[in-house]
Structure 1
Amino acid sequence: MSSIKQFTSENPGLVFVLLYFAFQVFFLTSISNGAGVDDAEQLAYVGALQWGYGGSQPPLYTWINSVAGDVLGISMFTVFLVKFGMLASLFVSVYCGARLLGMSKAVATAGMVGVFLLPQIAWESQRTLTHSVGATTGCAWAFLAFAWHMKSRSWLSAALLGLGIAAGLLGKFNAGFFLIGMILAGFSIPSYRAVLLSSKSILTLLVFLAAVGPTALWALSHMDNLLARSHKFQLNEGGQFLISRLHGEWKLFLNGILFSGVALVFFAIAWWRSRAQQVTPKTGWTDGETLVSRIIMFALVCVFIGVLISGAAEVKDRWLQPVLFLSPLYLSIVLGRYIASDLPLKRFALVGALCGLAVIPILAFNILHARDGGVPSIGQLDYAKLFAVTRADGNYLSVVSDGPQLPGNLRLYDGSVTPVHWEMPNAAARIRFPALFVWFGEGPNPVVEKLMQNAGITNPSTAIKTVTLTYKYYPDQSRVVSYVIVPAR
């Protein structure tokens, strides 16, 4: 107990973060009815360890969910444990990486807790995102591994650096901007360049290639799945070569400011309130401090060049998560260097903690009562009724739909069924009969009919049944779900 008390008194920020995310796991599990779109997609893949999946997304987050589901069972508890466990490791990696780079506890703590000042992480990542969480967490692991390798310079740290870089890229492809920026930043600092040019980097490269190689080969052989969602980038939108690029760069600038806007506001307030304590540092920036600033700079330059080359007219703020998650740490570095007292850092961390705490009741209300596009959250539908009604009509080994929402949520009630949806590679070949074909709306669904045809069902049943599902907290509103059970063949 004395050791715990000492750790808590010396690392209050770490303890807060760990307790915060542990609470979220149990609290949200207790109030949730079913999975939303992104989490339902993960539920649909649990138990299927593959080198790649559909929907243009790398496999890291799905791998972790799949392993957790096999060990702990398919449940909302497992879904939340994976998400909030990864978010906790993201925060801790920022802190530990900063400490390994030689920053004080005050700076490292403010940089860690300050991540709660980034709405895309503090709010969106807790509310709905999955692969973006994997990408940002993977980048945080890579940052920690880089910091450790610069300090340890051992064969083990070299191998873990390669694994960390691979984790970022396997989290989501836009993590590549951060990873390239980190390597370039390392090469720009003489002491780190010497480590990166040492013979141990051969092991880093080999581990990286071994980790990403199978998924890269899978992606090359499944280009249709890899590019399934490329339309969201609006590449060369409308055939306007110059206009699309200018629009993309403008969105990069605008969303970059908005992404860190809350952190920048509270940084400015802390700076202004401490103007009487501002000092001129006697020494220049340390290598660790320079590294953080250059990572952000080089990563943003990489995004700028990427938009310029690709012609992407759309750059969403959530895509900048892996690029700018270190911005609170950079702002904390500036406060620590130019203000004599630690008070601004403590205020910065306190505001971050308060923002994190404010998310808890707001997120709970959002899950229970928020409306999206005029209708309640899709996670609040009565999936238990759907399962009971369809099971009463017959047994089935597969649940097939045009999207992951229904198959994923039905797995919460029977983890043995095989979920199949349109974006899955070789979807028709996965179907086991008897199979439940299910979709939202009345009447035939062309995507589901196509899946039936691909599975060799030449005469699909016309006896389509329907069930009306109400929302848990809006019983006066409902959605119609159609289904048909195709018997064993």
Structure 2
Amino acid sequence: MRSDRAWIGLILAWAVLQLAWRYAQGPWLELDEAEALYFARHFAWGYNAQPPLYFWLQAGVFALFGENIFALALLKNALLALAALLLYAMLRRWRPPFEAGLAVAGLGLLPQILWEAQRALTHSVLAITMALLIMALAERLLNPGGRVTLKSWIALGLAAGLGAISKWNVALLPVAILTAALLRAEWRARLDPRGLVLALGAALCVLAVPGWWIMRNFERAGASLHKLEIEEATLPSKLAAGLGSLGAAWIAFLGLVILLVLIVALTTRAPRRWQPDPASRLMIGTMLAGAGWLAVGLPLFGVTEVADRWLLPIALFAAPVAVLWTLDRMRARGGRWLAGGLAALWLLAIALLPVSGRIEPGYRAAGFAPLASWIEAAHPGAAVLTDSGWIAGNLILALPGRDIRLAEEAPGLEGPVLWLARDGAAQALAADFGRMAAPQGARALQRGRREEAIDVALSP
């Protein structure tokens, strides 16, 4: 249909625009981009606290287009476009093109997608895509109209395993979908025990080797566990802190969605009780089941600090559901109003993205060119070792071919080494490797509107 082609074309055009627009945001790399450039230069079963799938995909794109900003932006925007197309395809089974397309645009109600995914994120972008792939596959299995075979269950299991190694919190999504399916008779009747076993087996096959790497490198793989702020306190205290933080994270993540629902509910009269389409019912059931698992699991494990981005694989479905509910409640006039508002949100975001690269935090406007020129001129034969992935990635971009390493990846380094540290501890960094190092002073690095000092030391 012509309308379908128009929406698909709009999604692809937006991705191409964002790919070109990346260059307007600054010549250097954000934190996640720098990490991807550093690790995706080589294949490994694991790298750090992040799961490996994004780095594997990025390595493939590097092989085709080289290690540069274009390849970094291409992968991310291709994944965002694929995520939008997956959601559109799933909803088109039940909704006309305008409603399905507007529900996709409704993802702009989520700042983690409207802003952070386009500005800085990498692994979370892949998590968005995998979450929507898992949901699309599950929707075809659990709702009528889809052709169900054992291969379909294997595909779902593979997607679930790949989702987990895109971002660990995606592992909750298949559990939430299964929980929702078990609680509703029509979905429970479509669960095939053989299919479930095959799906589980496929997921475990995907997870086997990355899981083996985690067990052998638990210190590196668990480096970000401190963010959970796990406390050993009384159960009531943990429950109160964990549930409070979880509730705040939901509100922060869904702030614009909640605002939209409140405005529409207070300014319109419902013509009838809302009857969501089958895809919306599954998304709602999954969100409720996922919220239940989080509410029980996080406090019981002592987690007292929940970041809103951790909710992404579960909570992102709230936006398209809210848009579809609004369309059903407000009819044609409301659809035009909503379309205009969502278009304004997306246009505002793209207008502000170049500004974000040049003000706080200003990572893409950092002055790495003078630092790279000084390293090349003053220490041409020394390996460069740093405690900052942001510095390592940007120096690799500026000095292709130089031996530049992160501290965690440089055991047994010999010969002259130039040590760089953001926290003024270059000599201490050298001492961690049993090396003496002479201070070389600090090099000023302009970052957006502020100046950052990079401490430097040299081991002969």
CA deviation after TM superposition for structure 1 residue 408, in Å: 0.6
Match of 2:171 in 1: 176
Contact 2:25 2:355 in 1 (8 A): no
What SS does the corresponding residue of 1:74 show, helix, strand or coil? coil
Alignment correspondent of 2:371: 386
Equivalent residue, structure 2, for 1:128: 120
- Stretch of structure 1 that moved more, 147-156 or 242-251: 147-156
Aligned pairs for 1:167-246 within 5 A: 167-236=162-231, 239-246=233-240
Deviation at 1:301, TM superposition (A): 0.6
CA drift at 1:235: 0.9
> Residue 338 of structure 1: CA displacement?
4.7
Q: Secondary structure at the match of 1:328?
A: helix
Partner residue, 1:254? 248
Counterpart secondary structure, 2:230: coil
**Structure 1 residue 332: Cα displacement:** 3.0
Q: CA deviation at 1:367?
A: 0.9
User: Taking structure 1 as reference, are residues 76 and 338 closer, same or farther at Cα in structure 2, changes over 3 Å only?
Assistant: same
Per-residue deviation at 1:153?
A: 1.0
Q: Distance in 1 between matches of 2:419 and 2:158?
A: 40
2: CA distance, partners of 1:95 / 1:432: 54
* 1:231-380 to 2 correspondences below 5 Å: 231-236=226-231, 239-275=233-269, 278-280=271-273, 285-338=276-329, 341-368=331-358, 370-372=359-361, 377-380=362-365
Query: Is 1:403 the equivalent of 2:388?
Result: yes
One-letter code of the match for 1:92? L
The amino acid across from 2:163 in the alignment is: G
Q: Contact 1:17/1:113 (CA < 8 Å) preserved in 2?
A: no
User: What are the Cα deviations for residues 390-437 of structure 1, in whole angstroms up to 9, with x where unaligned?
Assistant: 112344584311121211101112343454223x4x5415x5755443
Contact 2:382 2:416 in 1 (8 A): yes
- Do the aligned partners of 1:234 and 1:314 also contact (CA within 8 Å) in 2? yes
Query: What is the percentage of aligned positions where both structures have the same residue?
Result: 21
Distance change (3 Å), C-alpha of 1:264 and 1:446: same
Q: d(CA) in 2 for partners of 1:202 and 1:319?
A: 28
Q: Which amino acid counterpart does residue 464 of structure 1 have in structure 2?
A: Q
**SS of corresponding position for 2:223:** coil
Q: Residues 47 and 427 of structure 1: is their aligned pair in 2 closer, same or farther, counting only changes over 3 Å?
A: same
The number of residue pairs the alignment matches comes to 457
5+ residue gaps, structure 2: none
Unaligned residue ranges in structure 1 (runs of 5+): 1-5
**Is the CA contact 1:74–1:411 (under 8 Å) kept in the aligned structure 2?**
no
Cα distance, 1:10–1:97 mapped onto 2, change above 3 Å? closer
Counterpart secondary structure, 1:464: strand
Tell me the CA shift for residue 47 of structure 1: 1.7
Amino acid at match of 2:41: G
Q: Which amino acid aligns with 1:328?
A: A
Q: Note the C-alpha offset of 1:337.
A: 4.6
Deviation, 1:170, is 1.1
Assess, with a 3 A threshold, how the Cα gap between structure 1 residues 398 and 26 changes in structure 2: closer, same or farther: farther
Q: Secondary structure of 2:453's match? A: strand
Secondary structure, counterpart of 1:400 in structure 2: strand
Indicate if the aligned counterparts of 2:442 and 2:456 stay in contact, CA closer than 8 A: yes
TM-score of the two chains, using structure 2 as the length reference: 0.90
Q: In the alignment, is residue 71 of structure 1 matched against residue 47 of structure 2?
A: no
One-letter amino acid of the structure 1 residue matched with residue 17 of structure 2: F
Cα contact 2:24–2:354 (8 A) shared by 1: no
Residue 362 of structure 1 deviates from its aligned partner by 1.5
Paired letter, 2:370: K
In the alignment, is the contact (CA less than 8 A) between 1:421 and 1:427 conserved in 2?
Answer: yes
3-state SS of paired residue (1:139): helix
User: Which residue does 2:85 correspond to in 1?
Assistant: 92
Q: Which residue of 2 aligns with 1:116?
A: 108
